[in-house]
Chain A
Amino acid sequence: MNFWEYLESRHQQLLIDAYQHASVVFQCMVVATVLGVLIGVVTYRSEWAGNLATTATATLLTIPALAMIGLLIPIVGLGVPPTVIALTLYGLLPIVRNAIVGLRGVDPSLVDAAKGIGMSRPARLARVELPLAWPPILTGIRVSTQMLMGIAAIAAYASGPGLGNLIFRGIASLGSKNALNQVLAGTLGIIVLALLFDAAYVLIGRLTIPRGIRA
């Protein structure tokens, strides 16, 4: 059976796996974005808190994905929970760092102007600082998503959902007739998904970055 025949015969299962892969990455990204921006907002105004947040999330990223999931299994069990926790934690760094850099990069004279015309602190954040920091934050989200696409494959190790299952199965049965096809299908699937997500982010950027600050 060549690769095309394999795809044809298994396309249903492949689509389900791809959908689950995309779904878990998307949901983790939503959580990581909310958390990451929140951490950024809370910490950006203090030198040491901002640095602490960046360093902490960077340290998380240095833990090998396999080890992280392995360590989570005894605590939260198999399946979806360790996958989601690991992915969310990994997704944080680019978002937190870009949120802090973005918020700190807002022209202080604009913040001064916002204060001067009588904007409250929450209004300033929502209407001036976050919109102006949004382009770098979006870049962070994009980088984060690309990263999670690959890392999500390892979730299969903890019986998590997604295209990783194909890759693991293929590796486990190397030498059998479909092994290579499985690994290939899983990997290509992830690449295609990553490209689709990236296209979506370009669109989101078009729609959400105001014309006045678009590069």
Chain B
Amino acid sequence: MPSSVADSAPGPDPSGTEPRSVGATIELEGLTKRYPGGALPAVDNVTMDIREGETVILVGPSGCGKSTLLKMINRLIEPTAGRIRIGGEDVTDMDPVRLRRKIGYAIQASGLFPHMTVAQNIALVPKMLRWPAARVRARVEEMLDLVGLDPGEFHGRYPRQLSGGQQQRVGVARALAADPPVLLMDEPFGAVDPITRDHLQDELIRLQRELHKTIVFVTHDFDEAIKIGDRIAVLRERSHIAQFDTPEAILTNPADDFVSGFVGAGAALKRLNLTRVRDVGITDYPTVSVDDPLQEIFTKLRSGGINEVLVLDKRGRPYKWLRRGDMMRAKGSLARAGALVHDTVTQDATLRDALEAVLTDNTGRVPVTGRRGAYEGVVDVETLMNSVHELLEADRLEAMDAQHDLQEQRAAQTHAEQEGFGGEAKA
């Protein structure tokens, strides 16, 4: 696809619809920021490797320097010491203006310029990179589409005519407009209401599945961190990394009291957010269709040695739970018999959602549906309990392993130190 246009303009080619530039690695090496007059550095000697296409969350209490750390990556704050490499290239001494055009940047409360329209805001970086006008225009439409805003409707609006959630979407669109490999997000969803925040988080997860950027995301909300992060860096004061690991590992095996304090209560419950129904497997359950003759349903109930069947409607969607006694009481009419199905879940639902559904349904199980709500199986309370049990067991083993490794390491270290002293004594 390299056309003369693409060759003449710097930056990746935004024409095709395929994901173009994917992420780049970010390596921080001994990054330190010391403010004049401050006794202690604001960020102290942080070393961190971020993989290509990974979403890394920097999470920590306010004032721990997480934003400072983030802003050093695009050098909004110049590091006092240390190196930054993006995609293997050392950018510590690069012209910061040029560097920042290659890094998407989204901040709290969107940071949209109020005197420019939505389209002008999104077009800023591509224009600075001197993309041809037609390409910029096409890109703006594409970006609006990508973040789920109708281009025709939102193109000419000013930021103040948008809701907080819409502004934030435009902010993300602007950050991604020039297709940068790296996206930095500084508490981007901090200023919107909880429901909108939830939507925006889902949206970001979807975007990331399509785009595979390298995202560094700062938040103080640990639940947000578990939800979007591939890996989470829990920072304590002066940006010291308390733990840098997957959400699962942090939840089940917090490195120390600081991390477990930050994870907060209910780690086991939060763990349920990380596993999907798909992972625990669904079980089959006897079903009948509303079209089946009554006699057949009777036979099924009696012969199967079960108390209950699931009745599906004409399109195969879960409709009613039918018990043995129900038929008698309803005098053989299906229309009046049984209890309607309250709630269903999909394969992608988290175990937490499934548990919620199971607990509110008095049958102790919830139907799992697929495309167009069609029945696929059920999840019951036993399956959930067993899988939670297994999860926790596995986590415990992992934790013991980790502990064991740690002890071995320490032992080896102690040993080495003692040897060292011994050596010195001899010399």
Contacts and interface: CB of A to CB of B under 8 A. Distances in A.
A106 to B, nearest CB: 10
Nearest to B157: A212
Interface in A94-138: 109-110, 112-120, 123, 127-128, 131-132
Interface string B320-338: 0000000000000000000
Interface centre among A115, A117, A123 (most CB of B within 10 A): A117
Contacts of A123: 128
Contact of A212 (B97, B102, B109, B116): B116
A116 to B, nearest CB: 4
B115 A117 contact: no
Interface string B85-103: 0000000000001111111
B100 A117 contact: yes
Given A118-B97, A118-B100, A123-B128, A113 B105 contact: yes
A6 B86 CA distance: 81
B174 interface: yes
A112 B109 CA distance: 12
Interface string B368-400: 000000000000000000000000000000000
A109 to B, nearest CB: 6
A53 B117 CA distance: 34
How many chain B residues sit at the interface, stated as a range, is 20 to 34
Contacts of B158: 210-212
A207 interface: no
**Chain A at the B interface: mostly helix, strand, loop or mixed?**
helix
B113 interface: yes
Contact of A117 (B109, B116, B125): B125
Contacts of A128: 113
B302 interface: no
B107 A116 contact: yes
A75 interface: no
Nearest to B128: A118
B125 A118 contact: yes
A109 B108 contact: yes
B101 A117 contact: yes
How many chain A residues sit at the interface, stated as a range, is 20 to 34
A213 interface: yes
Contact of A119 (B102, B108, B117, B128): B128
B74 interface: yes
Interface centre among B74, B107, B109, B111 (most CB of A within 10 A): B111
B40 interface: no
B159 to A, nearest CB: 6
Contacts of B174: 117
Contacts of B97: 118-120
B111 A113 contact: yes
Contact of A109 (B99, B102, B109): B109
Contacts of A109: 107-109, 111
A127 B113 CA distance: 10
A213 B117 CA distance: 11
Nearest to B161: A212
B160 interface: yes
Contacts of B109: 109
B419 to A, nearest CB: 50
A112 B117 CA distance: 19
A119 B107 CA distance: 16
A110 B114 CA distance: 9
A113 B114 CA distance: 12
B84 interface: no
Contacts of B341: none
B105 A117 contact: yes
A102 to B, nearest CB: 13
A167 to B, nearest CB: 43
B114 A213 contact: yes
B100 A116 contact: yes
Contacts of A118: 97-103, 125, 128
Interface in A12-63: none
Contacts of B184: 116
Nearest to A113: B111
Contact of B100 (A115, A127, A211, A213): A115
29 contacts: A109-B107, A109-B108, A109-B109, A110-B114, A112-B76, A112-B107, A112-B111, A113-B112, A116-B76, A116-B100, A116-B105, A116-B111, A117-B101, A117-B174, A118-B100, A118-B125, A119-B128, A120-B97, A123-B128, A127-B113, A131-B115, A132-B113, A210-B116, A210-B158, A212-B116, A212-B117, A212-B158, A212-B159, A213-B115
Interface of A: 109-110, 112-120, 123, 127-128, 131-132, 210-213
